[in-house]
Amino acid sequence: MQYRFAPLLEELPSSVPFVGPEHLERESDAIFLARLGANENLFGPSPKVIDELRRNASGSWKYGDPEFSELRVLLAAHLGITEEELIVGEGIDGLLSYICRMFIEPNDCVVTSEGAYPTFNFHVRGYGGELSQVPYSSDHEDLQGLIQESKNTNAKLMYVSNPDNPMGTWWEESVLLETIESLPSETIMILDEAYGEFAPVGTALPIDTSRRNLIRLRTFSKAYGLAGMRVGYAIANPDLISQFEKIRNHFGVGYLSQVAAKAALLDQEYLRIMLAEIEQSRQSIYSIAEENSLLWIDSATNFVAIDCGHDGLFARKILHRLQDNGIFVRMPGVAPLDRCIRVTCGPPEQMELFGEVLTKVLAEES
């Protein structure tokens, strides 16, 4: 008996956007000493969040509020918007999947940068969308190129991350504003701000959901240190936000995830302290690069792309050798970005270990 799958499914490759560090650990039968590849927040969530998780662990028998009302009230107050202008979802990954489903029909055009977030591409293809990928320009997403390609293809969706992943570069708000204003009004700009809290003041646009063709995505996975709890949110015009109700998994954000997100949002003091630690860590990665006579790319995120000085093959060799020595890192997937490895910020001892191993590995490979 042959399965009668939807034709769209039959066409999809069995590709996976990311291999997890656990997979590599199983393959090598060794645990990583430093987990610097997934842009998790190695400083962890606020102690108050951990306390709340412990205090509420015995409530894990409860479904989460499908309207996450308390969290939504807190977020709306924090952002200075109404509750109708935001929706909470199962991380940015989950929200990207919903957005693709809401808009994409087979062969619809979607524009992104070549080498940008693979999981977005996975979802676009998953709904049959045609991806147009614009090369980076000087390690920045090429906003003019993205606008032009959106016009050329009559794109339904255009994806930008600011600050950018995987390079860590960023655009100031004024540049982003020009981009939105130059975009065809019917092209929805997905602005992925996963790393927004790490960026300098003046990176994030003021929130204005009267721009109907803009949807902004944020998360508790990065600055708030809760990647393991799967909570993200989208900010957009209420006419767009309301459409999520038609398709989302209403009980998809669990009870403890909501507990954690609420506690995290309420501890802005910890966020401030942690951002200072990230800044220190970023500086230490720059120093490590410099000490090893490598270039790096200034970052507005909790990771740094280090230019290994040769092509992608060389950088990949360095990456594998780092992994062999217990340091998990990742790297961009396409040239010329793939001359870099991408290193997540972490506490001093992990940075020190990374520096030592990098020096050793570079010496072996040169």
**Segment contacting a second copy by CB under 8 A, of 57-65, 75-83, 286-294, 308-316:** 57-65
- Decide if residue 273 touches a second copy (CB under 8 A): no
Nearer to a second copy, 223 or 331 (CB): 223
Nearer to a second copy, 63 or 365 (CB): 63
- Decide if residue 349 touches a second copy (CB under 8 A): no
Residue 160: CB atoms within 10 Å: 22
What is the nearest approach in angstroms of a second copy to the Cβ of residue 227? 5
Q: Which of 24, 38, 74, 177 binds a second copy (CB under 8 A)?
A: 38
**Segment contacting a second copy by CB under 8 A, of 90-98, 278-286, 289-297, 326-334:** 90-98
Cβ proximity of 191 and 328 under 8 Å: no
CA 153 to chain CA centroid, nearest Å: 25
By CB under 8 A, what part of segment 304-343 binds a second copy? none
Strand 188-192 to 157-161 pairing: parallel
Q: Which of 29, 105, 201, 366 binds a second copy (CB under 8 A)?
A: 105
Nearest of 194, 245, 264, 256 to residue 56 by alpha carbon:
256
**Segment contacting a second copy by CB under 8 A, of 33-41, 307-315, 318-326, 348-356:** 33-41
- Decide if residue 97 touches a second copy (CB under 8 A): yes
* Cα 96 to Cα 119: distance, rounded to the nearest angstrom: 8
**Segment contacting a second copy by CB under 8 A, of 161-169, 195-203, 254-262, 302-310:** 254-262
* Number of residues near a second copy (by CB under 8 A): 85
Q: Which of 28, 31, 59, 324 binds a second copy (CB under 8 A)?
A: 59
Nearest of 311, 309, 297, 310 to residue 342 by alpha carbon:
297
By CB under 8 A, what part of segment 174-233 binds a second copy? 185-186, 188, 212-213, 221, 225-230
Cβ proximity of 160 and 195 under 8 Å: no
Nearer to a second copy, 1 or 313 (CB): 1
Nearest of 243, 193, 217 to residue 88 by alpha carbon:
217
The contacts found for 313-321 with CB under 8 angstroms, 24 or more apart, are 314/339, 314/365, 315/339, 315/340, 315/341, 317/365, 318/358, 318/361, 318/362, 318/365, 321/361, 321/364, 321/365
- Decide if residue 33 touches a second copy (CB under 8 A): no
